[in-house]
Chains A and B, each alone.
Chain A
C-alpha cells in the first residue's frame, strides 16, 4: 500500500493497489490518464486559442472561405490511429497479467452471490462464512464466482478486477493481498432492492493467523446447557430460523441465508449495513425490514424476551 495514499481520497481506490494484479491495472490506468490529459490539453488549447484569436467584431467582413485540407485530415486521422495501436498493445498485455487464465485449477475459494449477501466457501478446508472473506497475505487465491439468483458482481478495487457472478455460469478471478489489512468492496452489478448493502470485506492476515482463523471457523460450537444461552439455542431450533440458516452441530442445515455458525466473529451484520453488536443484532431480529428494507429475511414478529434469548445465544457463536 502506498503510504502516500493512506487516509487520502484514493485510499480504497484502484489507484492504491495491494496485489500484483491490481498493480498492473493501476499502472495502465495512470498511463492512459496521462495520455488523455495530453489529448485534452491539445484539443482544449487549440479551441481556446481559436475562440480568443478569432472572435468576430461587429461589422467585420466575412473571413477567407476555406473548405478543408486533405493533408491535415490524414495527419489527424493517422495520429489517433497510432495512439490506438499503442493502447491496444498495452491493453492486451495487461489483460493477461492482471487476470491470467485460470486453466481449470481447483479454486481456493468459492464465492456465491445471493440477494443481498455473499456466501464464501473454502473447499480445501471446509470453512463456510459470509460477507467477510479472510485470505492469507501474499497467497494467490483462485476464486470461483457463482450466483444463486440474479447477476451480482464481486469488486474489491485494491485487490483484483471485478467480475460478475452469473447464474448458470462460473467465472474465476485471482484474489491476493500483498499486505495485511481490511479491504473494502461492494457488489457492482445492480441486483435488486438492496444492491446498496451487499458490501464486501476482505481481511488479509498473515498465514499463521489465517490458519488459526480457519481452525476456529471449523470448530463445532458446543451445545449450551444452562441459562439464557441454552434457552436461546432451543428457541432457535424451535422457530423457523432453521429453514434458512445453518449452525453446525444443530438441526439447522439450510443454505438460504448466511451460515451463522460463527456469526459473532464477524464485524458487520446485513452485508455491511450494521456493526455487529448485541444491540444491533437485537434491532435486526426485531424487524430486519426496518434495518434493510426489502431483505429476504421475514419479520419473525419476535417478542422482546425471545429477541434477548436469541441475541444471548448468537453472541456465543464466536
Chain B
C-alpha cells in the first residue's frame, strides 16, 4: 500500500459538481453528505417501525396465554422486527454515518465513487420497500424468523405465503447495495486520504470502518449467494436446503451464519469506532494505545470468520467441531477486552466532560461488557446447550446490539449532529433521552436473562402460566414502553434542535479530527483548505503548536 496520499491532487482536479437545491437534490444527489443524511432519515423511520413491532410483541407477552395477537401475526412481527432492526436500522445507520463522515475525516472531497454511493442507498430503500410490501400481499409478511431456517422457510412449510420470497428478494436488493458501500468505503479510505494522513494516522472510526468494509464485502456476498439459493429452491424447485429431496437443512445454517456472525461485528465495529472518537475528545486525552485499539479490530475481523458454528452447537455437529468453534469464539473476548481496557485507560487521568454523547459512551461500556460476558457463556459449549434459543440469547444480543451498538450510535449522533446540521442538539432533552433510554433498556432486557434461565424459549407467541413467568414478562413490557418514550424524546430533540438549536460553530467540542476543520454544515466541496497533517490529531496540533503530538513523539523518539 502506498504511503503517499493522493488526496490533495484529487481535491483540486475534481470539477465542481453543480449544487442542486430543493427536493430534487435529495433524490438526485451524489454528495456523500446528503446521502449520509438520507441514510439517517431512512433508518430513523425504520427504527420507529421496528420499534412499533417490538411494542406489539411485548404487549402480547405481557401476560401468559394472551390472545392480543394471533400466533401468525406474532411470528410475522418478530421476523420483521429482527430483519428491520438488523438490515434497515443498525447496519445502514452505521454505513450512513460512515458515508457522511469518512470523506470528511480523511480530508477528501467525496467518496471514491459518488454515483455508486447513491446507488447503494437507493438499493437499500427499494430493498426495504420490497420487504415491507409483503405486509399487503396474500399471506402477509415473512414468518420464519430473521434467520429463516430451512426447511421451515421452504415451500412445503410456508406454501401459503410469499412473505419469505419478499424477505429474500428485499435482502438481496439491499445486500447488493451494502456490498457496493463496502467497496466504495475501502477505495475511498485507501485512495483519497489528504496529504500526510497515513494509514497509521487514520482516525480510529475510519480504521474500524475500513476493517468493517472488508467484513461487509465478504460476509454480505455469502448472504446474497445463499438468498439466491433459497429463492431457487422456492421458485425454481431446486433442492439445496430440502432434506426430503436430498438437500441439507444444515447447509443453510452454515451459509447463513458464515454471513451472520461477521454481521454481528459489522454492526459492532463502527460503534467501537464511534467510542474511540467520543471518549478521547470528552476526556481531553488522546486514545490510549492507538495501535492496540486498531490492531484488535483487525484481530476481531479475522476471527469473526472462524466462529459461525457457535450458533449451531445444538445441531449435532459433534464434539470436535463444537470444541473448535467454542474456543475460537472465546478468543474474540481477548481483543474485545483490550478495547474496553483502552477506553477506560483513555478516561483515566483525563478531564471528563459528561455531555450526552459521553453519557451514552459510558453506558455503552457497562452494557456492552454485560453483553460480552454473556457472549462468552455461549462460547462455553455446555452452557450454550442449555441457553441457546432461549430468552437468555435475546437478552445477550440486545445488550450487545442495543445496549452496545445503539447506545454507541446515539453517542455518535449527539457528537456529530452539530457538524451535520450546524446546530447543537439540546443537552437538556439529551439527558432526559439518555436516562429514560438507560432505565427502559435495562428494565426490558435484564429480566430476559432470568426468563431464559428459567426455561422460556425465544420466539414463542405465548407461554404457560408458570410461576414468575408472567411477572417477569410484565416488567420487560413496562421497560419496553419506557424505551419507546425515550425514542420519542430523541426524535423530538432532533426536530426541536433543527428549528431552534444553538448554532454549533465549526468545532463545538474542541475536537481534533479533520471533520471539525471545516464549517458546520460543511460546504458541498467539504474543505476550503486543510490544516497540515503531521499526526493523528491535526486540530490539536494546530491549536497547541508547542505541545503538538508530533513534537512529543519526536522528543520521546516514539
Contacts and interface: CB of A to CB of B under 8 A. Distances in A.
Contact of A13 (B334, B353, B454): B454
A208 B291 CA distance: 68
Contacts of A191: 152
Interface string A169-199: 1010000000000001111111111111101
B244 interface: yes
A63 B350 contact: yes
B388 A99 contact: no
Among B243, B314, B547: residue with most chain A CB under 10 A: B314
Contacts of B157: 115, 149-150, 192
A95 B461 contact: no
B10 interface: no
Given A9-B468, A155-B457, A168-B248, A77 B352 contact: no
Given A32-B383, A43-B369, A54-B351, A87 B388 contact: no
Contacts of A188: 314, 388-390, 457
B338 interface: yes
B314 A153 contact: yes
Majority secondary structure, B binding face: helix
Interface string A68-97: 110011001100110010011011101110
Interface in A132-170: 149-151, 153, 155, 157, 161-164, 166-169
Contacts of A47: 344, 347, 362, 365-366
Contacts of A65: 285-286, 547, 549, 552
A19 B462 CA distance: 29
Contact of A32 (B71, B366, B380, B385): B380
Interface string B299-343: 000000000000000111001001100110011011001101110
Nearest to A160: B385
Contacts of B352: 50-51, 54-56
A87 B248 contact: no
Contacts of B365: 43, 47
A91 B379 CA distance: 9
Among B457, B460, B552: residue with most chain A CB under 10 A: B457
Nearest to B348: A50
Contacts of A54: 283, 347-352
Nearest to A15: B453
Contacts of A197: 462
Contacts of A81: 334
Interface stretch (A23-31, A222-230, A232-240, A280-288): A23-31
B385 A162 contact: yes
A250 to B, nearest CB: 30
Interface string A182-222: 00111111111111110100000000000000000000000
Contact of A168 (B152, B243, B347): B243
Nearest to B386: A14
B466 to A, nearest CB: 7
Nearest to A83: B333
B289 interface: yes
Contacts of A57: 351
B331 to A, nearest CB: 6
Interface stretch (B91-99, B370-378, B526-534): B370-378
Interface string B378-412: 01111101111110000000000000000000000
Nearest to A170: B316
A84 B331 contact: yes
A95 B381 contact: yes
Given A63-B349, A193-B71, A40 B382 contact: no
A110 to B, nearest CB: 15
A60 interface: yes
B386 A88 contact: no
A28 B382 contact: yes
B152 A9 contact: no
A245 interface: no
A12 interface: yes
B386 A157 contact: yes
A14 B453 contact: yes
Given A11-B467, A84-B333, A99-B319, A196 B462 contact: yes
Contacts of A193: 71-72, 75, 143
Given A39-B373, A162-B314, A151 B468 contact: no
A98 B344 contact: no
Contacts of A157: 386, 455
B314 to A, nearest CB: 5
Among A7, A32, A101: residue with most chain B CB under 10 A: A32
A61 B351 CA distance: 8
Nearest to B331: A84
Contacts of A98: 382, 385
B49 interface: no
A159 B394 CA distance: 23
Contacts of B284: 56, 62-63
18 contacts: A9-B468, A36-B377, A46-B344, A50-B347, A63-B283, A63-B284, A66-B288, A68-B290, A73-B292, A77-B338, A115-B157, A161-B386, A162-B388, A164-B314, A167-B244, A169-B250, A196-B71, A196-B462
| 8 A-B pairs with the lowest CB-CB distances in the bound complex, closest first | A168-B243, A56-B351, A161-B385, A196-B460, A68-B289, A171-B316, A14-B386, A190-B459
Interface of B: 70-72, 75, 143-145, 149, 151-152, 157, 243-244, 248-250, 283-286, 288-292, 314-316, 319, 322-323, 326-327, 330-331, 333-334, 337-338, 340-342, 344-345, 347-354, 362, 365-366, 369-370, 373-374, 376-377, 379-383, 385-390, 450, 453-455, 457-464, 466-468, 547, 549, 552-553, 558
Given A54-B348, A91-B330, 10 more contacts: A25-B386, A28-B380, A51-B352, A54-B352, A64-B349, A87-B376, A189-B314, A196-B462, A199-B464, A293-B71
